[in-house]
Amino acid sequence: MTLAIQSHEWLYLLGGLTWVFFAFAFGACVGSLTNVLVYRLPLGLSVVTPPSRCPSCGTQLAWKDNIPVLGWLALGGRCRYCRTRISPEYPLVEAFVGLLFVVAFAICYFAENPVFAEWRVLGISWKTIQPDWAAPGFARTWPIFVVQLTLLSCLVAMTLVDAKTYTIPLVLTWVPAVAGVVGLTAYAAWFEFVGSRRISSTIWADGWSYAIATPGPHGWKWVGAAIGGVAGLGISLLLVRLKLLSRSFADYDQWAASRTPESTAPSTEAGTAQSSEGATEASEASEHSPPDAASASPRGMSAKWVVLAGVLVAAGAAGAIVAPRFGFIRFGGVLFGVLVGAIVGAIAVRALGLGPPPEDESGEPAADAPTEEWLDYPHARREVIREVLYLAPCLGLAVVGAAVAMQIGGPWSFHDFTGARVAATPVPLWLDALSGSLMGYLIGGGVVWAVRILGSLLFGKEAMGLGDVHMMAAVGACLGWIDPVLAFFLAAFVGVYREILSRIWSGAARRAMPFGPSLAAATVIVLFGKPWIEDGINRWMHRTPEQRIELP
């Protein structure tokens, strides 16, 4: 009997590891695509053609050279044809996205595996962190999981592009937004019209009507407001296309060119990708130039990363050992240790002379990046007023839509026990899911846009990029309106930490730092750390177990 149980456990273990391998392999392939997007989109190049080729000699790569991670390792980090060094950024991105997919799969579905469900990793039980909607298993909930993976992969691409260019290609925000709206709505519609209603209840989060925050069966007002608000954005976009409403910062290119006539001005909208009707000869030539990382000293690069990795491992291990003595789980100690270790490692790298700030030809520290000159644009207040006009149809139709939807859902009555208003016609599940995704899109982007407008009016400089607005709108479309709001406020703390780390690492302060990476990191923290966020909110509000707030 004991042998039979052990055999079954081995089968469950092998089955779980097979899923882990598949998740990593699939994520690494997505990471390979991410490298293509990060390199080509800012240059205005097609992501389909030409096929992958060496950035130095231009030779088209063989299929075996394109295998994620393994291809780079097999080549020893050099081109097969010209032996030019290939930046390690490529396999690192592939491996990171693969590990990100594995973590997402583990959080959602490890609790369903009898072997993994009993494991506690650094004090964490998989059952305590599994989202409610994922409890029925991968076979029933994979559409929601795919939407989240789409968002995660696009966030990685947006982070890398924004960190390098201070811009976010809008196509990287449109893909997850469409995936969220279409995928979540179609999944709910399938359950409502094709699947069993009894099964459909399994895609609900505890205390909510769906896997994301939605208006609920009696939330007609919010249904109408969400649909009306999105319709208003469509009208504003049409007015811009018809040139009846001018686009904000439309004269930025001319202003930048007047300051530096020989330079190429960046995008007309901060936070968006540079637009190009086709690849110029200069852009095509730049694709053949070796990456910056290839020109760096291999020995210096290796020593720097070895020191940093060693400090991080030591700090994480110390945190895991010390945390239980203060009543914290080991996982929390590891995270805290890594955060502190990153700062200590940066100090060590600087002290050892392995990470000096970049220098120009004169030997002086490099000046502000050219993309930072948007801070000197003198008409930011005027331009954000145009954005207020752009948002007027959205706000107006949201009010109208709410009023119309209340009539559709009526007549209304009051519940005898709760006193809540109850609609005679409940909101269909598919419409509830659609409205929840649209609410997330509007509120997620609206919070950032409001800060952008208020900050620009207050300081007279463009406070945040429109790319950040689109990013958090996409997050809301995939995760609902609660997650992007939490992530936006958490991103402020992430940004402060990044600023401290950046100043220690480079030894100098920059005039501006892209906020997109902080938003993306905060979104991942909220997505993966929601149980601890719930616990923190309930402790802060002194909630009893019966009054606990449950996030979808």
Angle between helix 171-193 and 138-165 (nearest 10): 170
Burial class (CB in 10 A: 0-12, 13-18, 19+), 174: middle
Spell out the residues 6+ positions from residue 124 whose beta carbon is closer than 8 angstroms to its own.
Answer: 329, 331
Q: Residue 121 forms beta bridges with which residues?
A: 124
In percent, the amount of the chain with pLDDT more than 90 equals 35
Using 50, 70 and 90 to split pLDDT, how confident is the model at 54? Answer: confident
**Higher per-residue confidence, 417 vs 435:** 435
pTM: 0.85
327: region left, alpha or beta (phi > 0 left; psi from -120 to 50 alpha) = left
Using 50, 70 and 90 to split pLDDT, how confident is the model at 508? Answer: low
Using 50, 70 and 90 to split pLDDT, how confident is the model at 114? Answer: confident
Burial class (CB in 10 A: 0-12, 13-18, 19+), 134: buried
Q: How far apart are the first and last CA of the chain?
A: 41
pLDDT of residue 170: 92
According to the per-residue pLDDT averaged within each range, which of 296-305, 307-316, 326-335, 540-549 is highest?
A: 307-316
Spell out the residues 6+ positions from residue 43 whose beta carbon is closer than 8 angstroms to its own.
Answer: 276, 279, 283, 286, 287
In percent, the amount of the chain with pLDDT more than 70 equals 80
Is residue 127 within 8 Å of 110, Cβ to Cβ? no
Read off φ and ψ for residue 324, nearest 5 degrees: -60, -25
Mean predicted confidence (pLDDT) in 285-296 = 37
pLDDT of residue 279: 34
Residue listed under structure tokens 């110029």: 280
pLDDT of residue 16: 77
pLDDT of residue 510: 66
Residue ranges of domains in the chain: 1-130, 166-275+355-552
312-316, 347-351, 415-419, 434-438: the lowest-pLDDT one: 415-419
pLDDT of residue 21: 93
CA 312-314-317 angle, to 5 degrees, is 105
220-234, 298-312, 352-366, 392-406: the lowest-pLDDT one: 352-366
